[in-house]
Amino acid sequence: MIVAESKPLEAISAMLQRYEKVLAVGCGTCVTVCFAGGRKEVATLAASLRMKRGIEGKPLEVAEAFVQRQCEWEYIEPLAEQVKKYDAVLSLGCGVGVQTLAERFPGTRVLPALNTLFMGLPTEAGVWEERCQACGACVLDKTGGICPVSRCAKQLFNGPCGGSQNGVCEVDKSVPCAWHMIWERADALGMTDALMEIEPPKNWASSRDGGLRRMVRDDLRTPTEDGGNE
Amino acid sequence: MSQDHALAVPGAAPVAAQGTLKTASNLERVLSQGRFAVTAELGPPRGCDAAPVRKKAQILKGWVDAANVTDNQAAVVRMSSIATGLLMIGEGLEPIIQMTCRDRNRLAMQSDLLGAAAHGVHNLLCLSGDHQSKGDHPGAKNVHDIDSIQLVAMVRAMRDENRYQNGKDIPGGGPRIFIGAAENPFADPAAMRPYRMRKKALAGADFIQTQLVYDVPRFREFMKKAVDLGVHKQLAILAGVGPLKSPGMARHLRQNVPGMSVPEVFDARMEAAVKGIDTEDKQARTRAWREEGKRICVELIQEIREIEGVAGVHIMAIEWEEAVPEIVKASGLRSSAAG
């Protein structure tokens, strides 16, 4: 899932300084699961903002809205009429949600209430960890299902750096060394031979380094009248 | 350079025999003659004054076969390693340019190497680089376009096949660089370390400089495995050593530097060195500690050079270059500065 966390109330409030009526929009997918942008978080943030602005003597009207997915046109379409009534939209979605709203409602200011952190999973109650950086060329087949791109601070492809000790990373002792895990797992599976091969330089063109990424599936595109795709 | 520091390296002929040298590197020449190599380290200044570089180079000149010049070590901004290396060449000291994968992508690395070679640089040490979070610009973006083993392979292809990383020809031929890499025998996973060093050999490394060795028994185990794998025949292994300055330094290395193994016996020896000296007499204590630190370093060198497969030592006396000639002399590696 995409993991996000709330920006500090002060920062959100500062963004809304010039507005009197805002629409706070939650999202029912990833950010609900990581307790950052679900119905409950929308309600809590709205109440906090109203209270803060009330104390400051500049009352703020905060309406609450919720969609199942902020990252798809059809899910945000029902907001179209409502959005017109507000000075600004405060999105509690991830960065994709914020931009989908901004793209659909170009006449309205759309602001982010969250910081989008990473793609990962909850490893235990209250803890989320990164697992994927969407590099666009998965190497997990070669590394025993442990990703050196997202989990090694130096994105090494040929083994651990000299700072790996007792299974932890030199950058942060609370973080396991990805290459230590890769080695241990390969050892347990009797597959260390595969780690002796030199992995050549990665082609980062499929990662963010190649500019905006786009995936096209012709088999899924809607045919146009002239027989081409839309 | 030197005639008298050479003891034949037992069982090792890691570098091409004389007459078929790959580069104009003095270090390669020394190793190819089967002589026990000595390298040291020169840390560039944190400003743009060339004087401290020249001073350090003069201290080391003649006592070592080449000296490493660190590349923003500990992720702290310093004078560029190549620029510092050029100053060293001007002083008559052969530089081993350290290059980390942290600060440059493959374009920058290759262009810097072309430039360095054009200025007469013959040696490179390929490193991942300390993480920027530990340095003086923790908000910096790191690069890691390629890793240190891929860097070794890239430089080898530039030199031996006259090819850029993209496979295209380098007009006029590639840089003639003697290629080094690092290995830490004390880091984890311990079982992978000798294999990782072999991987560097396969990628094209000509020599290895290890992390500081204080734990000789563990280093011996590592070298035994390396010899069993035949890695010492594929490249020259230079063991890292360095003089302690105080008991506090021994503790600091053990506790704060990841991947270091410093037996506690050295703390005890450093403590004992100041027995009987007034605790208020800081100068006398510092002197006694430093003498003991050098003594320990000399003993380590003498022990390490007997280990099969060790082709030389790399003396890291950080901000204490003056210690290097004394250590080299006392270890019997060289009796005077070579002309």
Q: What is the pLDDT of residues A158-212, one digit of tens each?
A: 999 999 999 999 999 999 999 999 999 999 999 999 999 999 999 999 999 989 9
- Both tokens assigned to A188: 């347990």
**Chain B contact set for A165 (CB, 8 A):** 186-188, 258-259
Interchain contact, B188 vs A167, CB within 8 Å: yes
Q: Which of A158, A165, A180 sits opposite B147 (nearest CB)?
A: A158
Question: Is residue B125 situated within a structural domain?
Answer: yes
Residues 193-252 (B) with a CB less than 8 A from some CB of A: 195-196, 198-199, 202-203, 211
Selection from B70, B28, B137 nearest residue B317 by Cα: B70
Question: Is residue B313 situated within a structural domain?
Answer: yes
State the pTM of this model: 0.93
* Cα–Cα distance measured from residue A167 to residue A175, given in angstroms and rounded to the nearest whole number: 9
For chain A, what are the domain ranges? 2-117, 133-210
**Chain B contact set for A177 (CB, 8 A):** 188
Interchain contact, B165 vs A180, CB within 8 Å: no
Q: What tens-digit pLDDT sequence spans chain B (339 residues)?
A: 444 444 444 444 456 555 689 999 999 999 999 999 999 999 999 999 999 999 999 999 999 999 999 999 999 999 999 999 999 999 999 999 999 999 999 999 999 999 999 999 999 999 999 999 999 999 999 999 999 999 999 999 999 999 999 999 999 999 999 999 999 999 999 999 999 999 999 999 999 999 999 999 999 999 999 999 999 999 999 999 999 999 999 999 999 998 899 999 999 999 999 999 999 999 999 999 999 999 999 999 999 999 999 999 999 999 999 999 999 999 999 999 986
Give the gap in angstroms from C-alpha A142 to the nearest C-alpha of chain B: 16
* Cα–Cα distance measured from residue B156 to residue B164, given in angstroms and rounded to the nearest whole number: 10
Question: Is residue B138 situated within a structural domain?
Answer: yes
- Both tokens assigned to B200: 């560097």
CATH number of the domain where residue B146 is located: 3.20.20.220
Question: Is residue B315 situated within a structural domain?
Answer: yes
Our CA dihedral for A178, B127, B242, B277, rounded to 10 degrees, sits at: -70
List B314's β-bridge partners, or say none.
B39, B240
Question: Is residue B71 situated within a structural domain?
Answer: yes
Question: Is residue B337 situated within a structural domain?
Answer: no
- Total domains in the fold of chain B: 1
Size of interface A-B (CB pairs under 8 A): 107
* Cα–Cα distance measured from residue B284 to residue B269, given in angstroms and rounded to the nearest whole number: 16
Range of the domain at B246: 26-330
Interchain contact, B198 vs A196, CB within 8 Å: yes
Contact B167, A214 (CB under 8 A): no
Interchain contact, A196 vs B199, CB within 8 Å: yes
CATH number of A2-117: 3.40.50.2300
Interchain contact, A154 vs B187, CB within 8 Å: no
A87 sits in which H/E element: none
* Cα–Cα distance measured from residue B248 to residue B245, given in angstroms and rounded to the nearest whole number: 8
